[in-house]
Amino acid sequence: MTTITDRRTAIVQGGLLAADPAMASARRAGATDARGGPLRDALIGAWQLVSCVETDMATGEVFLPMGEHPQGFILYTPDGYMSAQLSASGRRDFASGDMYRGVPDDYAAAGVSYLAYSGPYYVDEARRTVEHEMAVSLFPNWKGQRQLRIPELDGDTLVLATDRPSLFDGSLKTARITWRRATSNL
């Protein structure tokens, strides 16, 4: 019997295999984004979260840590700063209504359903990569780290992939986060 997880794994793995040669070719050729300009220019602006997918390196199992309908934004500013906010939908309110007077279960649920970090970002045009430096992070272990992301741009869609597995929920996983350029708020 094929499960939803099996189907998702096959779809994600197939997409990764199909994308890998194209990404490698684009990086070797020093390609620019679909708009014809530098990667840095293409990243600037607001992007809305579409999906957050983690793949277990040992089993190939696919996880959706923010659920099937995540919410969030990643912002890249022209002066070199970024902010990422990823949230599961349907998060429950604190019963107290006071962010400083929740019970331990409130804070635990809030912490596992949200990811946030901000700081400077650095683009390597030759390698077609971007690094996020975590000046602040909801996950304190990331504070001060620089993490490499492999971007894929296709029109108004941006996929940011990790360059190596990380420890997520007890196992080594890679992550692919898909964003869509946000509509103007003006």
Say what percent of the chain tops pLDDT 70.
Answer: 81
pLDDT digits (tens, 9 = 90+) for 27-69: 333 334 555 589 999 999 999 999 999 999 999 999 999 999 9
Which residues 6+ apart lie within 8 Å of 83 measured at CB?
73, 74, 75, 116, 117, 118
Token pair, residue 117, equals 């970090």
pLDDT value for 37: 81
Q: Is the pLDDT of residue 10 over 60?
A: no
Q: pLDDT per residue over 117-161, tens digit each?
A: 999 999 999 999 999 999 999 999 999 999 999 999 999 999 999
Number of Cβ within a 10 Å radius of residue 123: 19
Distance CA 59, CA 23 (A): 24
What's the rounded Cα separation, in Å, for the pair 30 and 14?
Answer: 25
CA 139 to CA 120: how far, in whole Å? 17
Please indicate, yes or no, whether the overall pTM of this predicted structure exceeds 0.85.
no
